[in-house]
Amino acid sequence: MERIGQNIKMYRELKKMTQTELALKARLGISTIAKFENGEKIPDRQTLLKVSTVLDVPITELTGAQEEGIVNVEMDGELSELIQAIGVEKAKSILRKVKELNESQYLQLMKTVFEQKYDLAE
């Protein structure tokens, strides 16, 4: 459940919010937020709801829960950095669109991106 604390910290930082700001907006103690983020304490469902509301993310983003049940998902470090760089909403939008592509469409998209990046378009 340490993952929940890591997720709270990640989304708080994405929102450029301090622990103090999150604590005040969620009506929690500052040390409580620190304990969640350090994995020393696990928030109950009601507290998770408050935190997710303040951070404007679904509770499942904090818990790693999927519709089928709870799953702890370890996010690749590079993927986490990329999401932080472009923003959560943009990353979700891109991934939703790519998910809909078949293999041929995906390869064409990657070719186009590569050509644009290196100015190779004919």
Cα 13 from chain centroid (whole Å)? 10
**Which pLDDT score, from 0 to 100, does residue 61 have?**
85
Q: What is the pTM of this model?
A: 0.54
Q: Spell out the per-residue pLDDT of the chain, length 122, in tens.
A: 578 999 999 999 998 999 999 999 999 999 999 999 998 999 988 899 999 999 988 888 888 764 334 444 456 777 778 888 888 888 888 888 888 888 888 889 888 888 887 877 55
List CB contacts of 25: < 8 A, sequence separation 6 or more. 17, 54
Residue 78: both structure tokens together: 């590079």
To the question of domain 2-74 being in CATH 1.10.260.40, the answer is yes
Q: What are the domain boundaries of the chain?
A: 2-74, 85-122
Q: What are phi and psi of 74, to 5 degrees?
A: -85, 120
With vertex at residue 6, the alpha carbon angle to CA 4 and CA 10, rounded to the nearest 5 degrees, is 115
